[in-house]
Amino acid sequence: MDTLKFAVLPGDGIGPEVMAVALNVLRRAAEAEGITLEHSEADAGGIAIDRHGAALPDETLRLCGESEAILFGSIGGPKWENLPPKDQPERAALLPLRKHFSLFANIRPGLLYPELVNASPLKAERIPDGIDIVCIRELTGGLYFGQPKETRELPDGDIEAVDTMVYRKSEIERIAAVAVSTARARGKRVCSVDKANVLENSVLWRRTVTEYVAANAPEIELSHMYVDNAAMQLARDPNQFDVILTENMFGDILSDEMAVICGSLGMLSSASLGTVNNRHGHRFGLYEPAGGTAPDIAGKNLANPCAQVLSAAMMLRFSFGLDALADRIESAVRRAVTSGVRTADISFGGKNVGTAEMGEAIIRNL
């Protein structure tokens, strides 16, 4: 493979700052392997509202459609918070992107290096070796998309709001397949999280996952847990999990809890994989940091670029099949951080470096 064609949507707030670092790291790592990057930039989010009057302009969508992957910054910020909810950057750009490209599988590593355990709100003795788990969240079904979804006035004058939770067996099977392949490359354990004691959806979820694993991956150790217990267990002993598999809303909540216990949003990457393969035979996907646009530190050279760099590494792995190059970048981030080069969010005193210097440290460690 010699050319990697991807769309770059830097977004708002710290997005452009950390994206610049990620592209530098990618360029340097790819050069060493004789690989050319062919990427074009487009506006999405608040900046697109300001420049084009829409959070996801047609031109941006066209560029993404012509690419093999999307490297995404974060979008949104106080400037656009007073817009009607349907026009706000995340709802008007990110959700349509997920829908348009059928990005059904969200993969979020929960990784905390042992050297950074003091960044976690958990007691260090609970996580002496850091944290290393993955959450696989179904992203295009369930309560966030099911119809009907409306607020209606009743004949007696009262008002009710309805959201609908729907899952098909085929949707559950395809996300179970992602969890299984993730677990195969790790500790070979999947914990499927649901609320099967209350929800019909969860009964189907549990049965389908059980049947899928039995038929396709008997080597995987499968367990099931109710979501309320999973939330407690994550805070008590996160490393009891290897791969967590769950539906859209439960995954939204659990993956954010996972982010908190891992110390800093500045270190956490994510991938959202689609249903179609690109011309390299790998999945089209969108890769973005787990955090948002961090308006409190935007423009101050304080943002940690590692999450964006690690998201770029995930793009190499999942959309281009370049595992060795992805490993190299991930190791470089780890070496840079564990050798003591720290941005403010992951330091415990001492001298902190800025966004660009962190990028240089990663490049030195490639």
Comparing CB distances to ligand NAD, the nearer of 168 and 300 is 300
- Strand 159-164 relative to strand 189-194: parallel, antiparallel, unpaired? unpaired
Q: Is 285 in the site for ligand NAD (CB under 6 A)?
A: no
Q: Is 252 one of the catalytic residues?
A: yes
Of 150, 296, 323, 327, the one binding ligand NAD (CB under 6 A) is 296
Q: Is 144 one of the catalytic residues?
A: yes
Query: In angstroms, rounded to a whole number, what is the distance separating the alpha carbons of residues 130 and 187?
Result: 16
Of 29, 63, 75, 273, the one binding ligand NAD (CB under 6 A) is 75
Query: In angstroms, rounded to a whole number, what is the distance separating the alpha carbons of residues 250 and 227?
Result: 7
List the beta strands (DSSP E) in the chain. Answer: 3-11, 36-41, 70-74, 105-112, 131-138, 146-153, 159-164, 189-194, 221-226, 243-246, 269-277, 283-289
Comparing CB distances to ligand NAD, the nearer of 56 and 190 is 56
Stretch that binds ligand NAD, among 95-103, 132-140, 297-305, 314-322 (CB under 6 A): 297-305
Stretch that binds ligand NAD, among 100-108, 193-201, 286-294, 334-342 (CB under 6 A): 286-294
According to DSSP, the residues that pair with 162 across neighbouring strands are: 150
User: Binding to ligand NAD (CB under 6 A): which residues in 7-66?
Assistant: 14, 18
CA-CA-CA-CA torsion sign (62, 64, 67, 68): negative
Set 5, 163, 226, 252: catalytic member: 252
Q: Which of 61, 248, 224, 63 is nearest to 142 (CA)?
A: 248
Comparing CB distances to ligand NAD, the nearer of 78 and 114 is 78
Of 22, 35, 94, 105, the one binding ligand NAD (CB under 6 A) is 94
Comparing CB distances to ligand NAD, the nearer of 217 and 271 is 271
Comparing CB distances to ligand NAD, the nearer of 97 and 245 is 97
Q: Which residues contact 324 (CB under 8 A, 6 or more apart)?
A: none
Comparing CB distances to ligand NAD, the nearer of 295 and 354 is 295
Query: In angstroms, rounded to a whole number, what is the distance separating the alpha carbons of residues 238 and 195?
Result: 19
Whether the CB-CB separation of 337 and 297 falls below 8 Å is answered with no
Q: Which two structure tokens, joined as six digits, stand for 224?
A: 């099931």
Q: Is 341 in the site for ligand NAD (CB under 6 A)?
A: no
Q: Which two structure tokens, joined as six digits, stand for 280?
A: 């390299």
Q: Is 129 one of the catalytic residues?
A: no
Of 16, 146, 295, 321, the one binding ligand NAD (CB under 6 A) is 295
According to DSSP, the residues that pair with 246 across neighbouring strands are: 137, 193
Stretch that binds ligand NAD, among 51-59, 110-118, 156-164, 300-308 (CB under 6 A): 300-308
Query: In angstroms, rounded to a whole number, what is the distance separating the alpha carbons of residues 295 and 65?
Result: 29
Size of the site for ligand NAD (CB under 6 A): 22
Stretch that binds ligand NAD, among 53-61, 116-124, 294-302, 322-330 (CB under 6 A): 294-302
Comparing CB distances to ligand NAD, the nearer of 77 and 141 is 77
User: Binding to ligand NAD (CB under 6 A): which residues in 244-283?
Assistant: 265-266
Q: Which residues contact 307 (CB under 8 A, 6 or more apart)?
A: 18, 265, 266, 267, 268, 269, 289, 290, 291
Shortest approach of ligand NAD to residue 345 CB, angstroms?
Answer: 4
According to DSSP, the residues that pair with 194 across neighbouring strands are: 226
Q: Which of 94, 76, 192, 193 is nearest to 140 (CA)?
A: 94
Q: Is 212 one of the catalytic residues?
A: no
Shortest approach of ligand NAD to residue 12 CB, angstroms?
Answer: 8
Q: Is 237 one of the catalytic residues?
A: no
Residues annotated as part of the active site: 144, 195, 228, 252, 256
Residues at the site binding ligand NAD, with contacts judged by CB under 6 A: 14, 18, 74-77, 90, 94, 265-266, 288, 291-297, 303-304, 307, 345
